[in-house]
Amino acid sequence: MIALVLGGVLTLGAFIGAFFWAGVPDFGFVRTAGQVDSVRYKGPFEQAIDEARYLANYAGYTVEVEADGESVRGELVSADAESVEIATGSGNVTIDAADFEAATVFGSEYGRPDWGQKIFYFHVPVAEISFVVFAFAAFYAIRFLMTRNRDYDTKNRVSMEVTLVFVGLTMATGILWTKAAWGVWWDWEPRLTTYFILTLLVIAYFVLRNSVEDEERRAVYGAVFSILAFIDVPISFFITRLIPSNHPVIEGGGLEGPMLISFILGQIGMIALGYAIYQLRMGEVQLQERIEQAKTLLER
Amino acid sequence: MASASGRQLRAMLRKDIVMELRTKEMIMSMGLYSLLTMVVYFVALSQAGSNFDPRDIAAGLLWLAFIFTSMLGLNRSLVHEKDQGCLEALLLSPVDRPVIFFAKAGGNLIFLLAVEALTLPVFGFLFLQGTHLDWGSIALLPLILIVGSIGMAGVGTLLATMSVNTSGKDFVLAMLFIPLMYPLLLGAVTATGGAIVGGAQGVSVFWTGMGWVVGYDVIMLLASYGLYEFIVGA
Amino acid sequence: MTEEHQHTLALEVRDLTRAFGVRKALDGVSLELPVGAFLSIFGPNGAGKTTLVKVLTTLLNPSSGSARVLGRDVVSDAVDLRTHIGLISHNPLLYPDLTAEENLLFFAEMYGVEQPHVRVSELLEAVELDHRKLDLTRTFSRGMLQRLSIARALLHRPEVIFLDEPYSGLDPHAMDILDGLIAQIRDSHTFVMISHDLDKGLELCSHALILAKGRVVLYEPREAIDDAAFRQTYRSTVGMGVS
C-alpha cells in the first residue's frame, strides 16, 4: 500500500516536472490563416468592457473590431477596460470600450502564450477519475443491494468519499480554467452544469447517510441513492445540450511531443493517485471497523 | 394474482383520496403554498421593469412553483403513513411492494396535478395579462404538465419514503430531489416555454422538450420501481 | 406452490441470524413451536425480540438461517404467509382520518377477505366498538385504538397471531376485552407474544422463551418450567427487579 502511495505521488511529481518542461509557450489556440478567435459582446450578462480587456491577449495580432455599428481593421496596439487602440493603414484608431461589440482575431506567426492552459493537464485527469470512481461507487452499491454484505457498503462509501475529493478538485480547477480560457468564472454550459449537478448529488449522498440512524438502513439508502445519482448524470449531460449555448468553445488542437507525454504522465499519475487515496482511506475505515467489531464482540 | 394487485391498488388509491377529500389538508396546503409563491414572484420581478416579456420567464416560474409545491406534498403524504405506523400495516398485508409504490406515487400524482391545474390559470391571470398567447400551442401545456408530474411523483415518492425516515426530513428531501429532478425540470421548462411562446418554432421546441422528459420518466421510473422494495424492506 | 401444508409446527426456526457486519440482532436462534401453542417471549431491551417477530412476520429478511411459519418460508413464501398471520403491535397501525369502519374495510380489501362488510361488523361487535364505527379513529382513546387494532389483525382469520406488548397502555376494560378475545380463539390459534409482564406472559403461555443479545437463553414448554428458577433466570437476564 505504501508502494502505491509512493507510486502515485512519484508519478504525480514526474508529471509536475514534465508540466513545467512542457510549458512551451507555443501551445494555445488552433491557428489557421484565417480566424483565430472571436469575441462577441453577448448581452445583458456580459460586460463589453471585459471583452475589450480580453483582447489585450492579442496585442500585435491583426484584428477587426466592430464598434458602434462600424468596423475597424488593423494591428492591435493595446486593449484594456477603457479603450481599444488599433493601428490601421491610416493611423491609430482608439475605440471606447463601452462601444465595443465584437472583434475577430486573425492568424499570425508568433504564438500566444496561454498559461491558463496548464490547468488542463491537471483538470482533465482529475475529472476523468472522478467519473471512474463514481462508477465504482455505483457498482458497489448494486453489489451491496444484491448481497447485503456490509463490505460492499464500506466500499461504496469510501468510493463516494474519494469521488467527493476528486469532484472538489475538478470544480476548483475547472473554475480556474474557465476564468483563464473564457474570461468568466462561471458559465452554464453543458459540461460545467452537469458537473455542478454531480457535485450536488455527491454531497446529497453524504447528507442522506448522515441523517439516518440505523446502520443497515443507512447502507441501503446510500446504495439506492448512489444508483439513482449515477443514472441521473448522463441524462443531465444530454439534456443540458438542449439549451442553445452561444458560448464560443475554443479548443486546442492535437497534442504533440512534450505536451503529450506530460499529459499521459498526468493521466497515469492521477489514476495511481486516485487508487492510492482510495486505498489509504479504505485502510483507515477498515481499521475503524475492526475496532468497532472488537468492541461489539467484547460486549457480548 | 394480477387482479388482487389491482384490487389492492384501487383500495389504496381510494383510501388516500377519501382521506384527502375529508381533510383537504394536502390540497389546501399545496394550493395556498402555490399562491404564496405567486406573491413572491411579484415582489421578485417588481424591479425588473416592464421591458421584459413575461412569456420568456413564465415557464421557469411555473415549474419552480410546481417543484416546491410537490416537495411539500410528498413530504406530507409520507408523514401520514409513518405517523401511525401505517406503512408497516401495509407491508404486513399480502401486497407486492411495487404496488405500494404505484399507489403512493399515483396518489401524489393526482394531488400534484390538481394543484397544477389550479395554479396554471391563476398564474396566467396574474402575470400574462396583455400578452399575446397562441392558444393552439397553449393547449399543449397539459401534456407536459402530466408527463413532468409523473416523473416528479414517481422519483419523489421513492425519495420521500427515504427522507421521512431521516432526521432532516424536508431538507433531506430537497437535497435529494432537486439534483435528481434537474434533467426533468430542464426538459419541462423548455417544453413549457415553447408552448407559451408559441408559433411553429415554439411548438417544435415543445416536442423536443417533451421527448426528453418522456425519456427521463421512462428511465427514472423504471429505476425507482426497481429500487423501491429495497427501501421498504429495510 | 405447495397447497399441502401438513404442518404440526407453527414455527420452525433454524439458526436464524439477522446481522449487519458483526452487529447481530439475532444470533443463531433455533426453536420449534407446535400449532395451537402460546409462546411468550421475554428478554431485556435490545435482545432481539421485536426483530425476531419482524422476521417471522416477513417485515425483515434473515441474513442467514431459515424460518418457517406454518410450513411456509418467510422469504420465499412471504406473500402467501401474510394471509395467515396477524400482528397486534403497540402502534395501532390505523389511519387517523378514516372511520373505524373504513379502516377495517380497507384492510379487509387488502387481504381479500370475503364478505368484508359482514366480517367487519362481526369484529366491531366483538371488540365493542360497533357504536363508534362511523367515528374517525383520530378521536379514539388509546384503549379503543388498541381494540380496533385487534379487530384489524383478526380480519383475515389468521392462524398465527403475533402480539408485541399488546397490553401496554391499555385501560383495564380494554385489557379484559383482549383477554376475552384471546380466550375465545385460544384453542384454534397459535399465539406468539412479546411481553414485559412476566406474570401475564407466564400465565397465558404454553411455551416460554428468553432472549438476550440475539441469543436464546432459555426455551421450555410451560410444564417443564419451575417458577422460581425461571424467575431467577429472568431476573438475571433482564436485570431488573420483578416480583
Are A225 and B190 in contact (CB < 8 Å)? Answer: no
Residues of chain A found within 8 Å of residue C22, distances taken between Cβ atoms: 292-293, 296-297
Q: Is residue A283 part of a domain?
A: yes
Residues A84 and A222 in one domain: no
pTM of the model: 0.80
Residue B108 exposure: Cα atoms within 13 Å on the Cβ side: 35
CATH code of residue A92: 2.30.30.520
Q: What is the pLDDT of residues A202-220, one digit of tens each?
A: 999 999 999 998 888 999 9
Q: In whole angstroms, how far apart are CA A101 and each of A97, A107, A169, C196? A: 9, 20, 35, 83
Grid cell 406530507 — which residue?
Answer: B76
**For chain B, what is the largest distance between any 2 Cα atoms, rounded to a whole number of angstroms?**
61
Residues A68 and A147 in one domain: no
Number of other CB atoms surrounding residue A244 within 10 Å: 7
Residues A183 and A88 in one domain: no
Residues A84 and A32 sit within 8 Å (Cβ to Cβ): no
Structural domains in chain C, sorted by start: 9-84+158-237 (3.40.50.300), 90-152 (no CATH)
Q: State the smallest CA–CA distance between residue C228 and chain B in angstroms.
A: 38
- ipTM, two decimals, is 0.89
Radius of gyration, alpha carbons of chain A = 25
Torsion of the alpha carbons at B221, B227, B229 and B233, rounded to the nearest 10: -140
Range of the domain at A165: 2-16+114-299
Q: In whole angstroms, how far apart are CA A257 and each of A28, A245, A290? A: 15, 33, 49
Among A61, A86, A106, give the residue marking a domain's end: A106
What is the average pLDDT score of chain B?
88
Grid cell 439534456 — which residue?
Answer: A239
Residues of chain A found within 8 Å of residue B189, distances taken between Cβ atoms: none
What's the 3-state SS for chain B? Answer: CHHHHHHHHHHHHHHHHHHHHHHCHHHHHHHHHHHHHHHHHHHHHCCCCCCCCHHHHHHHHHHHHHHHHHHHHHHHHHHHHHHCCHHHHHHHCCCCHHHHHHHHHHHHHHHHHHHHHHHHHHHHHHHCCCCCCCHHHHCCHHHHHHHHHHHHHHHHHHHHHHHCCCCCCHHHHHHHHHHHHHHHHHHHHHHHHHHHHCHHHHHHHHHHHHHHHHHHHHHHHHHHHHHHHHHHHC
Least confident of A128-137, B41-50, B202-211, C65-74: B41-50
Q: What is the pLDDT of residues A82-98, one digit of tens each?
A: 778 888 877 788 877 77
| Pairing mode of beta strands C38-42, C207-212 | parallel
Q: What is the pLDDT of residues C198-234, one digit of tens each?
A: 888 888 888 988 888 888 888 888 888 777 888 888 7
All cell numbers assigned to B19: 382521506
Q: Is residue A57 part of a domain?
A: yes
Q: What is the pLDDT of residues A45-62, one digit of tens each?
A: 344 555 666 777 777 777
Residues A177 and A116 sit within 8 Å (Cβ to Cβ): yes
Are C20 and A292 in contact (CB < 8 Å)? Answer: no
Identify the pLDDT of residue C118. 92
| Number of domains into which chain A is organized | 2
Residues of chain B found within 8 Å of residue C163, distances taken between Cβ atoms: none
pLDDT over 90, % of chain A: 20
Using a CB–CB cutoff of 8 Å, tell me whether A296 touches chain C: yes
Among A78, A106, A134, give the residue marking a domain's end: A106
Q: State the smallest CA–CA distance between residue B230 and chain C in angstroms.
A: 11
Are A297 and C22 in contact (CB < 8 Å)? Answer: yes
Residues in chain A: 300
Are A207 and B230 in contact (CB < 8 Å)? Answer: no
Radius of gyration, alpha carbons of chain C = 18
Q: What is the average pLDDT across B65-72?
A: 91
Burial tier of B53 (Cβ tally within 10 Å: 0-12, 13-18, 19+): exposed
Query: Which residue does chain A place closest to B213, by CA atoms?
Result: A239
Among A85, A106, A127, give the residue marking a domain's end: A106
Identify the pLDDT of residue A51. 64
Residue C149 has pLDDT above 80, yes or no: yes
Q: Which residues contact B11 (CB under 8 A, 6 or more apart)?
A: C106, C109, C110
Are C22 and A215 in contact (CB < 8 Å)? Answer: no
Q: How confident is the model at residue A113 (pLDDT cuts 50, 70, 90)?
A: low
Are A220 and B219 in contact (CB < 8 Å)? Answer: no
Q: What is the average pLDDT across B155-166?
A: 93
Identify the pLDDT of residue C58. 92
Q: Is residue A24 part of a domain?
A: no
Grid cell 396535478 — which residue?
Answer: B113
C57, C61, C93 member nearest B85 (Cβ): C93
Q: What is the pLDDT of residues C23-47, one digit of tens each?
A: 788 888 999 998 889 999 988 888 8
Q: Is residue A198 part of a domain?
A: yes
Residues A89 and A121 in one domain: no
Calpha distance C48→C27 (Å, rounded): 9
Are B230 and A223 in contact (CB < 8 Å)? Answer: yes
Residues A8 and A40 in one domain: no
Using a CB–CB cutoff of 8 Å, tell me whether B82 touches chain C: no
Testing the interface with C: which of B22, B84, B91, B231 to mutate, by most C Cβ within 10 A? B84
Calpha distance C129→C11 (Å, rounded): 32
Cα B214 from chain centroid (whole Å): 14
Least confident of A137-141, A269-273, B65-69, C227-231: A269-273
Q: State the smallest CA–CA distance between residue A293 and chain C in angstroms.
A: 6
Q: What is the pLDDT of residues A146-205, one digit of tens each?
A: 988 888 999 999 999 999 999 998 888 888 877 776 677 787 777 788 889 999 999 999
Residue type at position A216: E
C23, C63, C213 member nearest A148 (Cβ): C63
Using a CB–CB cutoff of 8 Å, tell me whether C63 touches chain A: yes
Between residues A85 and A28, the one the model is more confident about? A85
C59, C96, C98 member nearest B91 (Cβ): C59
Grid cell 448522515 — which residue?
Answer: A210
Residues of chain A found within 8 Å of residue B186, distances taken between Cβ atoms: 239-240, 242-243
Residue B181 has pLDDT above 90, yes or no: yes
Residues A191 and A257 in one domain: yes
Calpha distance A91→B230 (Å, rounded): 76
Q: State the smallest CA–CA distance between residue B233 and chain A in angstroms.
A: 9
Calpha distance A103→A51 (Å, rounded): 9
Residues A254 and A294 in one domain: yes
Query: Which residue does chain A place closest to C62, by CA atoms?
Result: A148
| Helices H / strands E in chain A, number of each | 7, 6
Residues A137 and A191 in one domain: yes
Residues A130 and A163 sit within 8 Å (Cβ to Cβ): yes
Residues A255 and A214 in one domain: yes
Q: Is residue A27 part of a domain?
A: no
